[in-house]
Chains A and B, each alone.
Chain A
């Protein structure tokens, strides 16, 4: 009898402690959509068929394929595969595994100032006004291509991002590190 009471009260006390701890020290685990969204490259290019990276993240969370992101390349597919616990597969549509990063460039003397590209840009990286020349803030450009099609005079080029000393990578065997006799 005493044993039952003792055990019961212990159980009650521990239950209360645990219950309190669960409320007090709740760990905010970010939902799967957030995690997927964090992996996606945020170009907002819509090449996956969704109107942005977040909608695609939601779709992936709901079981869509993970290989629809050409700007992310194979690296993104791999990360998504790890996160979602599915097999990594090559990019859909035979896209390149390692895409070259580009930024939009407006040939400014050909621009007629129609503002169509400004409306198309998902990250507000184009500045300009009606009948004024437009230009791209290349630091903000995600290289999504969305401004190229609306341009009525085809004055937007997608140029590969220029290499700087900061982005330059060593070539294996470029320097002399070897035995000296």
Chain B
């Protein structure tokens, strides 16, 4: 019994299980020598053309580069550089469709050749014996060489294998039909390939080097035999033609009888496989100093006039290859990248040649027919007979169709090399490989998700632990110093005492105390969201409230002027009146603390914002606070309308002055507007609060925007945002029957008023106007349907109070609108809306 080595040297070959004999079709393209193409107009160079990470960009747009200049820099983690295939200018760096069945865009460098084809200075080596191991690895790495057989595995990783290599297998099999790229390369450049093999030999020191070539390539076999005559360690083996003997695992089996274990790689059994194209690139890089910038591509198929192999620069569009070889497309033309068995149909011919592209196949409709309809599996087991990996394709198919992924893994789906032999022999034309590919992607995704879920869980747990710890610490802080804590407590008791005494004086003791208690409870509940003096504020508010009640009611009749201050005052007054009404209705005093602060802020800000631009920030803060407050309040149904009203007014007034001075405030205004929109949307969800709420904010926004849009183009965006928010709000409001009327109507007005100013400047607003028009139409329809009941059961006072201000402001605007003809339409809309509103009021037996 001979040893394995002896057997191999004696010419023994083994067989892998299965395999098929598809028609060769190689004679189409293996007669003509490898051609040189004219320079294309542009080159698209994806940053990532291999397995692993892409390098970092080291060039920029507009830069002029020389042929062979590195465009990216490898940065560890299996990354490879790419190089300029010719000299020229980098015209763009953008995401372009990639050479992948999905054609998903991928970051690419677009190079426009200058036609000079000027090389960078090259460092040539004549004797590799003088180069160290690391120097050779670096040369291969920096030349950007990746496996050119199809997978694109970085060659420098393979060449730097730490494990002992018994057999170095050179893959010149090229078993896939049509493709002759390796065949022609071996015929024309056998010497260089052998030089490349010798570089690998020096790096890996294998016991034997086996070159596997299918016996349908006699020219290549003789060329290679001649080239490696001087090296006794290299054996050229002619192997029987059988698809897929070019598969890495199959070739190892045929040449060495060894089997790569399931889930393993050839290095596990002391074998390393390199493609002849890769070795040619290695010899070019080491001896001539040329990086990988071009490769042999077979352009073939019946629609190509001159099917042959060409030297294609990396990044050449497929279209350029086809056009240069005379491409006459047929109906429903398909262009396949790769061979007919394992390739994929390109979604576009504007896709670049990459380092792994070995064939462009442009078949006509007879040589590669559209796959027929999938029929039922007849369990003939032909697929299992041809499977080179001895899998059970039929079984896998059932599991893949049933999405039983763990079963698929049990049946070693991941050992499938996707050679397509099973699909090829299937009499029912079941696209078996497609099912496996989908299932593989699905399983991979699930695994990624599993990892992500695990990470999310860890983060969630960590956060929970942190929060618990924080809470514990807070608790400890309180309990540790009881003496210090006791004093404030005593003071608090005193304050409470005083408060209760004051309250007694006013004869409202119970209500106030109840309110205080509620406020306290609330404070405790949401953990110091409100400031500490809320009790005092509450107390003050309560006290002032009744006195103002009377005054406010008087004022509502008086205020008609357009002056800001008086408008605010009126608003405040109205709000109070309303609040009073509400308070008397409901015993809950929750709204009281919210209202007075707002009033105070408003008056204060009126004067302040006129002077100091810095206050924009303050205004923003206030706006945020109000938004928050309003949102909270609107959640409780019975206190909804009063508190929201004044803040809105206040903000409006404040912003009017503010926006005139500082462009930064546009942003603030935007924020406020959005906050309001959201608030309004929320409010309109609650039935009884909806009416009062939605109205004033809209008005406020309108007033604010009137001034704002006149100055700043950025505000167009703000206006748009508001419009959207309103549309949303309107949609929501109209869902609730009884709130539909009031909220929908005024916002539309407001938008109209706002847009009056806006449309003068910006054509984009036409779209907004259209949206408003639509909203109005919708509103009108809704109104017609709206039942009258809601007018009856809501208090007439608030309605009047809230609807009046918009009218005032609109009236004020009307002189201005006369200037612009477009405003006529808007004015008409306003008029209509007003008429409608009045009609409603009368209908609702309004006492006014």
Contact indicator A124/B463 (Cβ below 8 Å): yes
CA distance A41 to B463 in the complex (A): 18
Interface residues of A in 154-180 (CB under 8 A from B): 154-155, 163-180
Contact indicator B424/A168 (Cβ below 8 Å): no
Contact indicator B457/A53 (Cβ below 8 Å): yes
Note all chain B residues with C-beta closer than 8 A to A114.
624
Interface residues of A in 26-76 (CB under 8 A from B): 37, 40-44, 52-54
Interface residues of B in 337-368 (CB under 8 A from A): 340-341, 343-345, 363, 366-368
- Interface residues of B, dominant DSSP: helix
Contact indicator A177/B25 (Cβ below 8 Å): no
Determine if A16 is an interface residue (Cβ-Cβ < 8 Å): no
Q: Assuming A153-B678, A169-B441, is B671 touching A177 (CB within 8 A)?
A: no
Contact indicator B431/A123 (Cβ below 8 Å): no
Contact indicator B104/A124 (Cβ below 8 Å): no
Contact indicator A179/B434 (Cβ below 8 Å): no
CA distance A81 to B22 in the complex (A): 46
Determine if A142 is an interface residue (Cβ-Cβ < 8 Å): yes
Contact indicator B434/A123 (Cβ below 8 Å): no
Closest to B25 in A: A180
Contact indicator A175/B101 (Cβ below 8 Å): yes
Contact indicator A174/B344 (Cβ below 8 Å): yes
Q: Assuming A110-B670, A152-B624, A167-B445, is B336 touching A123 (CB within 8 A)?
A: no
Interface residues of B in 439-458 (CB under 8 A from A): 441-442, 444-445, 448-449, 452-457
A38 to chain B, nearest CB (A): 8
A-B contact count (CB 8 A): 142
Interface size on B, as a range, is: 35 or more
Contact indicator A181/B459 (Cβ below 8 Å): no
Q: Assuming A142-B456, A175-B101, A175-B343, is B368 touching A170 (CB within 8 A)?
A: no
Contact indicator A44/B23 (Cβ below 8 Å): no
Contact indicator A123/B460 (Cβ below 8 Å): yes
CA distance A113 to B345 in the complex (A): 49
CA distance A175 to B335 in the complex (A): 10
- Interface residues of A, dominant DSSP: loop
CA distance A108 to B453 in the complex (A): 27
Q: Assuming A140-B459, A152-B631, is B677 touching A180 (CB within 8 A)?
A: no
Contact indicator B336/A112 (Cβ below 8 Å): no
Closest to B446 in A: A75
Note all chain B residues with C-beta closer than 8 A to A165.
98, 100, 102, 104, 106
Interface residues of B in 414-452 (CB under 8 A from A): 420, 423-424, 429, 431, 433-435, 437-438, 441-442, 444-445, 448-449, 452
CA distance A166 to B677 in the complex (A): 40
A7 to chain B, nearest CB (A): 45
**Can you give 23 contacting A-B residue pairs, CB < 8 Å?**
A37-B457, A52-B464, A123-B456, A124-B463, A142-B452, A153-B627, A154-B674, A165-B106, A166-B448, A168-B102, A170-B434, A172-B431, A173-B431, A173-B434, A174-B345, A174-B434, A176-B340, A176-B368, A177-B341, A177-B371, A178-B370, A179-B369, A181-B23
Chain A: residues with CB nearer than 8 A to chain B? 37, 40-44, 52-54, 109-110, 112, 114, 122-125, 140, 142, 152-155, 163-181
Chain B: residues with CB nearer than 8 A to chain A? 22-23, 25, 98, 100-102, 104, 106, 177, 334, 336, 340-341, 343-345, 363, 366-372, 420, 423-424, 429, 431, 433-435, 437-438, 441-442, 444-445, 448-449, 452-457, 459-460, 462-464, 620, 624, 627-628, 631, 667, 670-671, 674-675, 677-678, 725
